[in-house]
């Protein structure tokens, strides 16, 4: 954690200096005449679908360059590992890309230092076609810093064979129903679900969805104060503590993250994943789609879960920002975006395209919940660092070292310190 904190500080410091030195592209707009724009656009993408990423872009670049004859596009597939450090170093050295693929919790980190250009003009003509939660995920302080390209959502994923062993007919819809199912499953020597509380777990798929379901929020609307130490927060953490104390989740996962194919859900020892992507079960030993079903996210005061959004951002330091925006607008146009999502196996960020994956088992069922999903903290400058200071306190409560209320109070104190650092 200490190393990550130091890296985060380096990112913020370097970007602050860089942004002030390279803001020439921040005012560029999408060109209305393709013949009036020129230059080279370099885009950094990552192996979203590693089987096709190195070849998929070739024909799209050719088609774009046919229309924009004075623009050259170079797509560079970078590794996922250490991508923030790599991007930050490149920007600081004046060798950053013009366009880069980012996810929501990266947006505040870079936007806060002025490293990203406002791309509102890129979607101005058809903004209403994009899902509002997808746009919100790429927005920071009322400015759009990324054009959403793909979406996915987590929901309740259930193992029908395990349910049958406990005489359960359907996945639970509420927390009370989940607790009732937990008792039935425990009698059969099975777990209700898994809850990973180890340091490398993400709160986006553990605590945050439960907090949202209880009606709470992670931060205040302005992102300046922690808001999870609330009645909703107490209710959410108490719910998890109840699962632990009653033996409805394995205690090993409170300290160690199991390998994906060795989790209790994957090995048929637990019935449900309550914030699971359907792809997570496809790697399970002996996977058969017919053994699984998808249901709505759990509900306490509301039914909501976590989801992902990925999008393309234009760097404010780009020397060819107008051409970069033209490329992003072209590749996110309805026809291009549809093919991108289909080929990469993701749902569309455009409402006009409906359910792209309806004919695929499990993932097609989960698409109906896209409009209700949240993407984690997007209104603070360092969401990942914030998560790191909260997690140890939640884990302490689940291990019985402190009370639920004390854990939330301690987490709130550290979270506010982190927020103050920015």
Question: pLDDT tens digits for 339-357?
Answer: 999 999 999 999 999 999 9
What the block records as the tokens of 356 is 């792209």
Please state the rounded mean pLDDT for residues 375-395.
93
CA separation, residue 98 to residues 48, 84, 91 (Å):
19, 15, 10
Which of 102, 105, 133 lies closest to 119, judged by CA? Answer: 102
Phi then psi for residue 333, to 5 deg, are: -65, 160
Write down the pLDDT at residue 9. Answer: 44
Please state the rounded mean pLDDT for residues 364-387.
90
Helix (H) or strand (E) holding 196, with range, is none
Question: pLDDT tens digits for 192-228?
Answer: 999 999 998 999 999 999 999 999 999 999 999 999 9
What the block records as the tokens of 174 is 């509420």
Which of 275, 283, 292, 294 lies closest to 154, judged by CA? Answer: 275
Write down the pLDDT at residue 372. Answer: 84
CA 242 to CA 262: how far, in whole Å? Answer: 24
C-alpha torsion sign, points 254, 258, 261, 262: negative
Least trusted range by pLDDT, from 3-17, 133-147, 273-287, 316-330? 3-17
Q: Cβ(37)–Cβ(322) under 8 Å?
A: yes
CA 234 to CA 229: how far, in whole Å? Answer: 7
Query: Is pLDDT above 50 for 97?
Result: yes
Query: Which residues, 6+ apart, have CB-to-CB distance to 302 below 8 Å?
Result: 212, 213, 215
Write down the pLDDT at residue 422. Answer: 73
What the block records as the tokens of 368 is 């109906």
Query: Is pLDDT above 50 for 17?
Result: no
Burial of residue 374 (number of CB atoms within 10 Å: 0-12, 13-18, 19+): buried
pTM value is 0.87
What the block records as the tokens of 306 is 């976590």
Write down the pLDDT at residue 25. Answer: 58
């Amino acid at each position: 954690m200490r190393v990550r904190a130091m890296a985060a500080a380096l990112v913020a410091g370097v970007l602050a200096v860089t942004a002030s030195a390279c803001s020439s592209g921040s005012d560029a707009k999408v060109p209305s005449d393709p013949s009036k724009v020129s230059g080279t656009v370099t885009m950094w993408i990552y192996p979203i679908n590693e089987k096709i990423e190195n070849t998929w872009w070739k024909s799209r670049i050719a088609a774009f360059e046919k229309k924009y004859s004075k623009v050259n596009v170079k797509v560079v597939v970078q590794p996922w590992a250490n991508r923030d450090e790599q991007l930050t170093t490149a920007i600081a050295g004046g060798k950053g890309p013009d366009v880069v693929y980012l996810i929501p919790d990266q947006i505040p980190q870079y936007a806060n230092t002025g490293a990203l250009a406002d791309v509102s003009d890129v979607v101005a003509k058809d903004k209403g076609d994009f899902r509002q939660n997808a746009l919100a995920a790429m927005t920071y302080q009322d400015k759009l810093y990324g054009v959403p390209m793909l979406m996915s959502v987590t929901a309740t994923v259930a193992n029908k064979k395990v349910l049958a062993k406990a005489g359960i007919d359907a996945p639970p819809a509420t927390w009370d129903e989940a607790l009732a199912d937990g008792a039935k499953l425990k009698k059969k020597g099975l777990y209700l679900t898994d809850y990973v509380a180890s340091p490398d777990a993400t709160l986006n798929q553990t605590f945050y969805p439960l907090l949202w379901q209880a009606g709470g929020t992670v931060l205040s609307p302005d992102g300046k104060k922690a808001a999870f130490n609330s009645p909703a927060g107490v209710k959410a953490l108490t719910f998890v503590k109840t699962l632990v104390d009653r033996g409805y989740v394995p205690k090993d996962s409170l300290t160690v993250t199991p390998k994906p194919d060795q989790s209790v859900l994957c090995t048929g020892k637990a019935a449900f994943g309550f914030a699971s992507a359907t792809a997570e079960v496809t790697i399970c030993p002996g996977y058969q789609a017919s053994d699984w079903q998808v249901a709505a996210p759990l509900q306490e005061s509301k039914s909501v879960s976590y989801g992902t959004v990925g999008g393309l951002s234009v760097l404010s330091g780009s020397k060819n920002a107008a051409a970069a925006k033209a490329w992003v607008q072209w590749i996110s146009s309805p026809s291009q975006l549809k093919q991108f999502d289909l080929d990469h196996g993701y749902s569309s960020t455009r409402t006009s395209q409906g359910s792209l994956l309806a004919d695929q088992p499990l993932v097609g069922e989960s698409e109906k919940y896209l409009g209700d999903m949240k993407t984690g903290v997007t209104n603070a400058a360092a969401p990942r660092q914030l998560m790191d200071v909260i997690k140890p306190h939640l884990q302490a409560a689940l291990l019985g070292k402190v009370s639920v209320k004390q854990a939330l109070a301690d987490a709130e104190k550290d979270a506010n310190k982190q927020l103050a650092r920015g």
